[in-house]
Structure 1
Amino acid sequence: MAESQVFRRPALPLAPRDVKRPRLDEGALVPVEGTRKEENGNQRPSSLQSPIMLLTGHEGEIFGARFSHDGNILASVGFDMKIFLWTSRGECENFSTITGHKGAIMDVHFNTDTSYLYTCSTDKTVRVWDMETGVCVRRFRSHSDFVNGCHPARRGPDIVCSGSDDGTIQVHDLRKRKPAIIFENINKYQVTTLTFNDTAELVLSGGIDNALRVWDIRKNSLLHSMHGHSDTVTGLCLSPDGSFVLSNAMDCTARIWDIRPYSTSQRCVKTLSGHQHNFEKVFIF
C-alpha cells in the first residue's frame, strides 16, 4: 500500500469473517447482584471471581485482551495469530475476526477514539488496523526479534511505542515508515512490557532485568531506572491521572510507583503481595 493511501478508508463495509458465537457456560453464570453457593454451603456475593460469560473461539493460548475506551468492544489476541472482536453487551457476539499476522500476537490496544487497533507479534511487526474496515493501514518492521508489547499514546499525534526481545524500545509515528526514536538497553535485555506517560513525553518499560526504566522522548535518553522487583516485570498500567504506574512481576508482587517529575528518590510507594504469579504475562487494566 502506497504511503499516500495509508489513511484513505475504503467506502465498502467490513466484510464478514469467520463469525463465531460465544459458548455460554450456564454453570459459570452468576447474577450480577446475586449470590452463589459454595461447596461448603456458604453464600457469597457475585464478584470478580465469578465469571459472567465464557467466550470461546481462539484455537490456542490467549496472550492479550483489551476493552475499547467506551467499553463497547473487547479485542482478544493469542497464539492462533487472530484478532477476535467481541461486543461487550448482551450475548457478547464475536462480530469480526481479523487475520494478517504471521506469528503469535502478544499484545493489543485501542486508541482513544477506537478508530485504530494496535497489535504486535512474534513475526517482529507492529501493526495498525482500521476499525471501520478491518484493514491493516500500517505495518512497522524495524524490530529484529519478537515484539512483546505495544502501547499507543493517550493524546496528541498518532504514535505507538513497542518493546522487543531485541532489547530496544521504539516509538513509531503513523505518518512515517521508520521509527521516530529508538531507545536501546545497554545490556540488550529483552523488553516485556511498556507504556507512555500521560503526555506521551516519556516511555516506561519493564523487562527481564527486573527494573522499570523511564525514557525521555524529547532528549532521546534514559531518564532514570526504578528498582524493587526481583523477577521479570510482565505488566505496566498508568493511573488515570498519569501520576502513578502499576507494575506486575513474576516475583508475585505488584508495585505502585510515583512517576511525577519532582517526586522523591523513593518512587515505590506501595508493594502488593500475595497473589501467585504462574503466567509469563498477566492482564492489568
Structure 2
Amino acid sequence: MALALARGAGGEADAKRQKYTGAELVPALQEQLIHVQHVNRKSGLFGPTMLLSGHEGEVFAGEFSPDGRALATGSFDKGIYLWNVYGECENYGVLKGHANAVLEVHWKHDGTQLYSCSADKSVCVWDPESGKRLKKLNGHTAIVNSMQTSRRGVPYLVSGGDDGTTKLWDLRVRRCVHTFEHQYQILAVSFDDTAERIFSGSLDNTVLVYDMRMRDADPEVLEGHGDSITGLDVSKDGNFLATNSMDNTVRIWDVRPFAGGRNRCLRIMRGATHNFEKNLLRVRWSEKDALLAA
C-alpha cells in the first residue's frame, strides 16, 4: 500500500490533502486498524482463489500443462477449455470435436499436444496452439473412461472403456496395435515409467498389470480395494502406483519390477470420499512425488 501527495506548482501540498499525512497512519498501524500484507505471494494470480467460468456442464477432467502456464479442462458440455494460469486466468481456447462428455485430458510431456477421451467412444489428439484436432482414434464400442500416453520412447497411448477392453494405440500409425480384454468395465489406465507395463483399474475392485513384452499372457492382479477403482497414477520415479477407489481409500503400491513379496500394497490412506454421483475421481502425484492429490 502506498500514499502519494499531489503538490501544486509552488511545491506545496494541496490544502485539502495536506491534512492526510503519513503521521496519521502510525497510530492506526499501532492499533492494528489497518492491516498491511507482509507475506510475499508466490503466485501470479490476481487473487488467492480464481473462479474459472465458461463451461456449460459439469467439469470431469483437468490438468496443468508441463510448464504450469496453462490448464486444460474437459466437461459434460463436450468441450475442452484452455485457461491461462496467471493473471486473470483468461479462457484462451476452446477445443470442439467430441460428441459427448469429455472424461479425461492429458498434455504431452513437452506441452505440444493434448489428448482426451470421451463418452462418444473415441480418443482424440489435439494441437493446443491452433485448436485443431489432429487424430481421432476409434475402436472402442462403449464409453472411453480413461487414457494416458507413454512418458518416453515409442509414442504409445492406452485407453480403457466400458466395453471391458484396454487398448494400446501406436500414435505413429493411428491405429490400435493390441487389445487386452476383461469381463468388467475399465475405469482408469496408465503406463509405468518405461511403458513396459500397463495398469488398468477395473469395476471389479482390481488393478490389472499387463506386460507389454508378453501381451498374450495373463495379467498380474493387484487386489485389496473394496470397490471400483476410478483413478491411477504412477509416481515420477516410476516406483509407486497410487490408486483411488470408491471404497473411499487411496492406496500406494510398490510396482518396481523385481520387488519381493506378494502384497505390493504399502499404504492405505483415508479421507478422499466418493459421493452418491459415483463420478470417476482421479488421483495424482506431485512433481517430486512428495504429495498426493485425490
When the two structures are superposed, what TM-score results if normalisation uses the length of structure 2? 0.78
Q: 1:33 deviation in Å?
A: 5.4
Alignment of 1:100-179 (within 5 A): 100-179=97-176
The answer as to whether partners of 1:111 and 1:153 remain within 8 angstroms in 2 is no
1:242 aligned partner:
238
CA distance in 2, matches of 1:284, 1:90: 27
Tell me, yes or no, if the aligned pair for 1:181 and 1:217 is still in contact at 8 Å: no
Q: Deviations over 1:172-208 (max 9, x none)?
A: 11122320111111xx200000110000111101011
1:118-167 per-residue CA deviation (whole Å, 9 max, x = no partner) reads 00111110000112221111111111110000001111122210000000
8 Å contact from structure 1 (residues 250, 280) kept in 2: no
**Distance change >3 Å, CA 194–CA 32, structure 1 → 2:** farther
The aligned residue for residue 45 of structure 1 is: none
Match of 1:180, SS state, is: strand
Partner of 2:200: 205
Distance across 1 between alignment mates of 2:56 and 2:39 = 33
Matched, 1:282 2:278: no
Give the match for residue 257 of structure 1.
Answer: 253
Q: 1:225 aligns with which of 216, 221, 225?
A: 221
Matched-pair contact (CA < 8 Å) for 1:162–1:171: yes
- Secondary structure at 1:179's aligned position in 2? strand
Q: 1:141 to 1:70 in 2, by over 3 A?
A: same
Task: Tell me, in whole angstroms, the C-alpha distance in 1 between the residues paired with 2:38 and 2:77.
Answer: 32
* Paired AA for residue 252 in structure 1: N
- Tell me the amino acid that sits aligned with residue 243 of structure 2: S
Count of equivalent residues: 238
Distance in 2 (alpha carbons) for counterparts of 1:32 and 1:224? 54
Give the letter aligned to residue 280 of structure 1: N
Taking every aligned residue pair, what percent have the same amino acid on both sides? Answer: 42
The 8 Å contact of residues 161 and 171 in structure 1, kept in 2 or not, is answered as: yes
Q: Distance in 1 between matches of 2:281 and 2:208?
A: 19
Aligned equivalent of 1:74, options 50, 71, 74: 71
Contact 2:156 2:169 in 1 (8 A): yes
Q: Which runs of 4+ in 1 moved over 6 A?
A: none
Question: Per-residue deviation at 1:51?
Answer: 6.5
Contact 2:230 2:282 in 1 (8 A): no
Output the amino acid matched with 2:95.
I
Give the conservation status (yes or no) of the 8 Å contact 1:213–1:222. Answer: no
**Structure 1, 123-132 or 274-283: larger mean CA deviation:** 274-283
Q: Quick check: 1:64–1:78 contact (8 Å CA) kept in 2?
A: yes
In 2, distance between residues paired with 1:144 and 1:134? 27
Matched, 1:191 2:186: yes
Partner of 2:49: 52
2:232–2:282: 8 Å Cα contact kept in structure 1? no
Pair 1:33–1:197, CA change in 2 (3 A) = farther
| TM-score (normalizing by structure 1) | 0.80
Q: In structure 2, what is the Cα distance between the partners aligned to 1:94 and 1:177?
A: 30
For residues 18-29 of structure 1, the aligned pairs below 5 Å read none
TM-aligned CA distance change 1:115 to 1:145, over 3 Å: same
Q: 1:33 to 1:151 in 2, by over 3 A?
A: farther
Higher normalized contact order (CA 8 Å, seq sep 6+, divided by chain length): 1
The letter of the residue matching 2:168 is: V
Distance change in 2, residues 1:255/1:137 (3 Å): same
Structure 1 position 276, deviation (Å):
2.5
Letter in 2 for 1:67: F
1:77 deviates by: 0.3
Q: Distance in 1 between matches of 2:106 and 2:57?
A: 20
